[in-house]
Structure 1
C-alpha cells in the first residue's frame, strides 16, 4: 500500500556487510566470542565471589550485562548477513534492534558516570563511602540507569517509526540504527534530528562531563599521596578507565550526530563498529583483568574448581571396605 510516492515498508536491506568477505566474518565472530566470554566471566565472578560484593563490582556487573546486550543485539545479525546472499531485516525487527541498541547506549552513558562517581566517593571521601554507596542506593541507581536508557531510546524509536520512505529502503550500514534510517527517509526528519542533538547533550555530554570531573578530583587527591608507587598505580588505573570512557563517548557522539547526507558510509560503519563491537571487548580487559581483586577472584574460582576435581577423584578412589576402591 502506498500513498503518493511514500511506500509502506515491510523489510529493510542492510548493505554494509555481505557474503564473500571471510576475513571480516571471522573478525566479527572472534570479537563477539571474546566479548561474550570476557563479560560473562566478569558477570559470573562478581555474582559468585563474596569478596566482590561491593558497589564498584556491582556496577561492573551491570556494565558487563550491557556489553553482552550490545554485542548480542548487533553482531549475530551482522554475521547472518555475511552468510546469506541477501541481507534483509523486517521493518519491525529493524526498529526493535534500534530500540535495544539505543537503550544500551543511554544506560551505559549513565552507568559510566555512576561508576566514576563511585570511585570518586571511595577515594576522596572514604569515611562517608559506606553510607553514600549503600546497597539500596546502588540498586536504585542501577535501575535508574536502565530506565533512563530505555526512556531515551523509546523517544527516538517512536519518532523513527513515523518516518516516510520512498521505494525500497537500503541502509549502507552493518545494522539498524536511527541515523541510517534518517538518511534513507524521504520525508521530514527534523523532529528526529532535534531529538538526537538534544539527547547528545543530556544523555551523552552530561555524563561525560561528570566522568571527567570525577577523575580530575581523583587525580588531585592522588597527587597528595606521598608514596610514588601509589600515585603511579592510581594514574595507571585512571588513565586506562579514561581511555575506554573517552573511546565510548567519542564514538557514540560521532555515531548519533553525523547526520549529513554526504557522510562516508565506510566511516559511519567504522564508527559504529568501534562503538558497538570493539568497546564491549575492551571493557572487561580494562576494568577486570587490570584489577587485582578480580584477578584474585578468578584464581580462587580456578582453585576451587581444581580442588573439587581433586576431591572428586580422591572420593572415587578411596579404599572400599572389602578391598579395591569405591567406584572401581
Structure 2
C-alpha cells in the first residue's frame, strides 16, 4: 500500500474501505514511518501545525452504578480510588483558571454516574456561564447519559461540547458493560447534536477487541460525525474487570492513531487516557496523526508532568492553539 497516495485520496474526499482500514492496523512495523507520513499529510492539510490542549476536571469521583469493565469508578470495581460527591461551582471555576493560565483551550468537566441530576446540571450551567465570561474557554461537559431538557439547559449556559464515548464496537459492547446499551450511548450523542452542542465521542483501545472491532468503531464515529474524537489506550487498573490486560505496544498504538486520521480526516483526533503507559517514548510520534492531547491528570490516573507535554510540542515544532482571551493575555 502506498500510504502517501491513500492520504491524498482521503484529502480529496475518499472514504477508506474496511480492507484498507485493516491494512493500516496490519502494517509491518518497518512501515510505520511511511504510514505516519501519510497521516501527517492529512493532519497538516486540515490543521497545519496547531495542537489543541485539553484539561479534565473530575467533578465527581466514584459512586457510579454502571458496570463498565475498564473503569475504576464502576459499581463492580474494587480499586482504591478517591471518592467524592459533585464539587462546588467555585471549585469548577478554580480549575478553569488553571486551564486558562496554562494556555489550555478546552476545559472538560467530567462526572461519574449514569447521568446528571438536576442539581448537577444547575451547578455546571452556573459555572459555565462565568467561565465563558471570564476566560472564554471551550467547555466540554461529560456527565453521562443525557436527557433532552438537560442538553437544552447546558447549551443555553454556553457548553460548547458534550462528550459521551462509544468506547468500542457495537459487537463488543456487551463484553465491556451490560448496565446500559450501545444505543444509549449513540442516543446521548445525537441529543447533544440536536441542541447544537458539538459532539465529542471516542474509543478505548486494548479492551480485548479484535482489529475488526477497531475498524468498526472508527467508522461508527465517522457516521456519527463526531467533531472531536478522543482515542484512549487502556490503562488497566487493578480491581476492574480488565485488570492485568496488556495487549498493546507503542507501534500498534501509532497504527491505531493513523487509522483514526485516515478514517476521520477533518476531525479533532485527541490522544487521551493511557498514552503515557502505552505509547511511552513514542508519544511525540503520535502527534503526527493526532492534533490534540489532554494535559495533566486523568480521572483516577496520573498523566505526564505538564511541562513535559509543553516541551514535547515545542520540540516537534508544533503551535499550541490559544483562545482569543489567551492570545490577548499573551500580548499584554
Shorter chain as normaliser: what TM range?
Answer: under 0.3
**Structure with more of its chain in strand, by fraction:** 2
The structure whose Rg is larger is: 1
Q: How high is the TM-score relative to the length of structure 1?
A: 0.24
Q: How high is the TM-score relative to the length of structure 2?
A: 0.24
